[in-house]
Amino acid sequence: MGISGVISAVLIGLVIGALGRLVLPGRQRIGMLWTIAVGIAAALVGTGIAAVLGVSDTKGIDWIEWAIQIALAAAGVAALQRFKGRA
């Protein structure tokens, strides 16, 4: 993966992670780097799930894939918040 791939992954992770945080009620006490990491993981896993379901490559915007990625990011942020709250 080249530098453009890394930059793209970080930007997509930032967007997906931020949208995942917006879905959750209340304030999440995790940092921006954790948000990006959760977003990148959610984007990758969400793309895989969408591919298995056959909805990853459609005409126009892939709304179902985005919904899967955002739901995974929200679940990841909530799980990380819960984990960090215990520590």
Residue spans of the domains in the chain: they are 27-86
- How much is the pLDDT for 73? 92
- How much is the pLDDT for 56? 73
- How much is the pLDDT for 65? 85
In angstroms, the CA 31 to CA 74 distance is 14
pTM of the model: 0.83
Compute CA 81 distance to the chain's CA centroid, rounded to the nearest angstrom.
15
Residue 69 in tokens: 């990625």
pLDDT (tens place) for every residue of the chain, 87 residues total: 567 767 777 888 889 888 988 888 888 888 888 888 899 899 888 888 988 998 877 788 788 888 998 999 999 999 988 887 765
